[in-house]
Chains A and B, each alone.
Chain A
C-alpha cells in the first residue's frame, strides 16, 4: 500500500464503497451502470470495497482523516460492527453518501423494528421450522473455546438508518438506486456541482408522475392483492384495487415496477416535504377506498373494508420504518 497522505494532491478521485445491513443489491447496482464503470475507474481510484476488492478494515484505519473523497455507504445499521464502520468511514471521508433505501431510510432490514434482538434471534436460530437447534444456541458477543475467547459484534434491538448514526452529506434513494441516479450523483461530484449538503439526489415528484398508466378518478370498492388479479388492465393499479405506494413515494426510478405490471412498494421513501410515508399512504388510501356509497355504509362494512388491507405496517413502511415518526414497535416488558 502506498503511503497515504491527504496533503499530496492526487489526480485521481478516491472513492470507497461499504455495505452494512443490506442484501448486496446496491453493490450490484453499482455495476448496473455497465460500461460507464470504466469511466468511473478512469477518473477515480476505488480504495475500499469489501465485496469486490481485497482490502481490510485496517487499511481504512491507517488512512489519514478525510483521505477518501467520496464514500458510498449502503445498508442500515443493526450491529456494532456496522456502527463502527459508519463512524470510521465518516471520519475518513470528505463526502459520505447514504446509498440505497437501507442506508437512507432503514430499508427492509428496518422492519426488524417490529421486534427486538431476542425475538429476531428466536425466529432465526430456534423457532424456524427448518432449524434444528436443540441446545438453543444463539450468537453471543463473547464465547469461550479452548483456544481462548471468541468475539462477535453486538446485535442491536433497533435498526437505524445511516444518518441516525453519523452525519450524512447526500442521499441516493431507491432499492437499489437506478443506474441513472448513480451516474447523476457521480457526475455531480466529479464536475463539482453538488446540491446543498443534505440533499437527496433525485427528483422532487412522486412515482405516479413517472408512471405509464392512465390515471382517472380514484374510487375503489375492494382491495385486491396481485395474485388475485387475473389480468392487469392498462390503467392505474390503485384504481384496480391493488395497493400501489406510488402516490406516497419519491420517484426517480421511472416507475420500473409499474412497467413490469407490479405495484410500487415504496422503496423511494416519502416524497419531499412529507414526514412519514406510511401516514401519507393511510391518508390517501383511506380516502379512495369505499368512496362510492360511503353515505350508506355502516360502520361494520367500513371495518370489513379496512380489514382487507393485510399488514398495513409492512405494506406502508416496507422501507422506512426506522425513519418514520414512530420508528419501532413498543415492546411489552
Chain B
C-alpha cells in the first residue's frame, strides 16, 4: 500500500497569505501538493461551519492563513479568525478529533518561504496523525 497522502484544505486570505503562496510558487519553492487552496477575501470570513464541513467531507487537515496582526486589510478580520479557530479547536477535542488537524497561521505576502515550510510541516504532522477518523464512521 502506498504511503498515506493527506488531503489538506487551505483557506488563504486574498491580501497576504494567498500572495505569500503565490510568491512560493513564482520563486519555484518546493512544497507538498497535499494542500488544496481556496482564496477568500479575509481569514475573518472563514466560518467555522466551513471547517466542520471540510472535516466531515473527509479533509485530513484544514489550514486557515491570514495577515500578521496589525496587517489585516479589513483591520481586524485576522484577530477574529484566530479566536474562532481557537474556540473551534477546543470543541473538536470534545468531538474526539485531534486539534492539530486545524491550524491558523499568519503568512504575509513576502513570506513565500514560510508558506512552503508551513505546508511541508503541516503535511508531515498530518501524515503522523493518520487519516481523518470521520472518514471511517460516516
User: What is A's interface to B at a CB cutoff of 8 Å?
Assistant: 114, 274-276, 278-280, 282-283, 285-287, 289-291, 294-295, 297, 299, 302-303, 305-307, 309, 311-314, 316, 324-326, 328-332
**Quick check: B53 and A275 within 8 Å, CB to CB?**
yes
Cβ of B90: which chain A residues have Cβ within 8 Å of it? Answer: 306-307, 309, 312
**Quick check: A313 and B91 within 8 Å, CB to CB?**
yes
Pull 17 A–B residue pairs with CB atoms less than 8 Å apart, ordered by A: A114-B95, A275-B49, A279-B48, A279-B51, A282-B88, A282-B91, A299-B82, A302-B83, A306-B87, A309-B90, A312-B87, A316-B91, A324-B52, A325-B56, A326-B134, A328-B95, A329-B95
Cβ of B52: which chain A residues have Cβ within 8 Å of it? Answer: 276, 279, 324-326
Query: Is B76 part of the binding interface, using a Cβ–Cβ cutoff of 8 Å?
Result: yes
* Candidates A279, A295, A299; contact of B49 at CB < 8 Å: A279
**Quick check: A312 and B91 within 8 Å, CB to CB?**
yes
9 additional contacts, CB 8 Å, given A326-B134, A330-B95, A330-B137? A275-B53, A280-B49, A282-B88, A287-B80, A287-B84, A312-B90, A325-B49, A329-B94, A330-B133
Q: How far is the CA of A298 from the CA of B42 in the complex (A)?
A: 21
**Quick check: B79 and A303 within 8 Å, CB to CB?**
no
A332 in contact with B82 given A282-B87, A309-B90 (CB within 8 Å): no
Query: Is B69 part of the binding interface, using a Cβ–Cβ cutoff of 8 Å?
Result: yes
Cβ of A326: which chain B residues have Cβ within 8 Å of it? Answer: 52, 55-56, 95, 97, 134
**Quick check: B96 and A330 within 8 Å, CB to CB?**
yes
Q: How far is the CA of A282 from the CA of B55 in the complex (A)?
A: 16
How big is the B interface, by class?
A: 20 to 34
Q: How far is the CA of A313 from the CA of B91 in the complex (A)?
A: 6
Cβ of B96: which chain A residues have Cβ within 8 Å of it? Answer: 329-332
- Cβ of B68 to closest chain A Cβ, rounded Å: 11
Q: How far is the CA of A307 from the CA of B87 in the complex (A)?
A: 8
Q: How far is the CA of A185 from the CA of B137 in the complex (A)?
A: 37
A290 in contact with B49 given A306-B90, A326-B56, A330-B95 (CB within 8 Å): no
